[in-house]
Structure 1
Amino acid sequence: MKVITIIQPWATLIALGEKQFETRSWATKHRGELAIHAGKKIDKEACREPEIRKALERHGYTEDNLPTGAVVAICKLSECLKSLDTWTDGYELEGRKLIYSPEYEFGDFTPGRFAWELADVNQLPEPIPAKGQQGLWNWEGVGA
């Protein structure tokens, strides 16, 4: 199974269904099943941003209890869309898809970057320890 390592709190926000797009500087042709791996790093400053803090707290998380070094969710990578433009209320992606708050606060939608659209996200009952890697990598864990 393909996996992407994402620093916290972003990985948990995806697992919770709060974040529907992962933004990257690079596109991928991969579509289908994708595991979300929480890297060992926690962006504590991001955890203190009001929208992010509220989203985490709704589910009982703070910067102090986020899982790290583990696969936290399985989802489907349904689309990879280029960010085209910014406007008063958000961003425009290819296919005239518009991104509004709070989603645009959960990623870097600067024009020229890519938004990986995630669907059918299932948070694992318990995080599964795994060593992360850069880029897309293969994992032999659950369902692989």
Structure 2
Amino acid sequence: MRRGHSSGNYRNPCLTMHQPWASLLVYGIKRIEGRTWAAPIRGRLWIHAASKVPDEATIKAMEDFYREIYAVDGIADLKFPEYYPVSRLLGCVEVVGCVRREELACWEMVPEGVRLEAQTDLCWLCEQPQKLLIPFEMRGYQGVYNLEKKIYEAAIRGLTPVEGPLPVKFLLPNPQDPFSLKPGSISANVPETRTSELERSSSLTAAIAGARAAATQFSKKVQDLETTPQTNTAQSVRTLPLKSESFEEDTTPSANLSETSNKGALTSNNKEKISPIKYEEITRPSQPSSGGLRPHPGAPSKGSISPRGEHMKRKRDRPHE
């Protein structure tokens, strides 16, 4: 099973997600993070927004989806984020468990709107969102990875709790075991045959279909970007992870309410109404003038490459033996 840069040894785990899903999770609107792989951690999970800029259609589709599923539980007025920043660490949530889609869809102990979020193979159950008052820039990686110590120390001081529209408490089967809420753990609490689906209004059905289509289309755009042949030297030099560049592989339609990979910059849709702090400016020591990126801890080291012109010049100047 694919994992991040650290294989199970998580100190301050972080997950890079695409917008608008990342902000919706940190704001407590999104309570289920859908994946095709089980959550490898319990407890605090930092959320980082990838650099791929969402278009207006994607944002509208996801906001419409959440309006409709909250309406099922009688919540009519949702306050969405004013903007969806990219390439930023946004905040964190508490991952309390992970169950299969079929289990969540039939779990009567949670609100109906939460059950409607079960759109992926495996569902990470998230509580207690907290956001950074001022998101700051950092790079992202594939899967779940550890935040660097300096980033963590800077971020932990800037958190503030978020009161979601309808906070949910997912009860553990065994309160003494934080990993007890896992795939198969609540099967005994649901009927053997799946209960009939909620009677859905036409607007709810359309919102669910729109959210699926938006996520699938978003994944396709990202895949197209990643598979486009590089045509010049500047584009081809990408041996090190770029800032906030995720290589997430969950791009199938089954992961349709999550995200894929990214590359982009802020647009008018993501206009900075506050000025995010660049982590490099406040904590990172001065870098060499070459501007080289520092590899992530645990990542393969990359040797420096001499420019071809300099190499040939030294060869010409070498005395004949």
What is the Cα deviation at residue 24 of structure 1? 0.4
Q: Which amino acid aligns with 2:29?
A: E
Do the aligned partners of residues 60 and 136 (structure 1) sit closer, same or farther apart at CA in structure 2, a change above 3 Å counting?
closer
Q: Which amino acid aligns with 1:117?
A: L
With a CA cutoff of 8 Å and minimum separation of 6, indicate the structure with the bigger relative contact order. Answer: 1
Q: Which amino acid aligns with 2:64?
A: E
User: In the alignment, is the contact (CA less than 8 A) between 2:27 and 2:81 conserved in 1?
Assistant: no
What is the Cα deviation at residue 125 of structure 1? 0.4
What is the Cα deviation at residue 46 of structure 1? 2.0
Structure number with bigger Rg: 2
Instruction: Tell me the residue number matched to 2:147.
Output: 139
DSSP-derived class of the 1:128 partner:
strand
User: Is 1:51 the equivalent of 2:59?
Assistant: no
Structure 1 CA distance for aligned equivalents of residues 127 and 66 of structure 2: 23
User: In the alignment, is the contact (CA less than 8 A) between 2:29 and 2:66 conserved in 1?
Assistant: no
Structure 1 CA distance for aligned equivalents of residues 123 and 37 of structure 2: 9
Structure 1 CA distance for aligned equivalents of residues 34 and 134 of structure 2: 25
Percent of aligned pairs sharing the same letter: 23
User: Is 1:77 the equivalent of 2:95?
Assistant: yes
Q: Structure 2 matches for 1:1-144, cutoff 5 A?
A: 1-44=12-55, 45-49=57-61, 51=64, 58-61=79-82, 65-84=83-102, 92=105, 100-101=112-113, 104=116, 109-110=119-120, 113-140=121-148, 141=152, 142-143=155-156
Moved over 3 A (4+): 52-55, 95-104
Q: Which amino acid aligns with 2:79?
A: R
User: In the alignment, is the contact (CA less than 8 A) between 2:96 and 2:125 conserved in 1?
Assistant: yes
Q: Which amino acid aligns with 2:144?
A: L
Structure 2 CA distance for aligned equivalents of residues 101 and 42 of structure 1: 27
Instruction: Tell me the residue number matched to 2:190.
Output: none
What is the Cα deviation at residue 100 of structure 1? 3.7
More helix by percentage:
2
User: In the alignment, is the contact (CA less than 8 A) between 2:31 and 2:114 conserved in 1?
Assistant: no
User: In the alignment, is the contact (CA less than 8 A) between 2:93 and 2:126 conserved in 1?
Assistant: yes
User: In the alignment, is the contact (CA less than 8 A) between 2:17 and 2:48 conserved in 1?
Assistant: yes
| Superposed CA RMSD | 2.9
More strand by percentage:
1
Do the aligned partners of residues 72 and 103 (structure 1) sit closer, same or farther apart at CA in structure 2, a change above 3 Å counting?
farther
- In structure 2, stretches of 5+ residues that fail to align are 1-11, 71-77, 157-321
TM-score in terms of structure 2 length: 0.36
DSSP-derived class of the 1:19 partner:
coil
Structure 1 CA distance for aligned equivalents of residues 65 and 135 of structure 2: 21
Structure 1 CA distance for aligned equivalents of residues 138 and 24 of structure 2: 19
DSSP-derived class of the 1:18 partner:
coil
DSSP-derived class of the 1:74 partner:
strand
What is the aligned length? Answer: 130
- In structure 1, stretches of 5+ residues that fail to align are 86-90
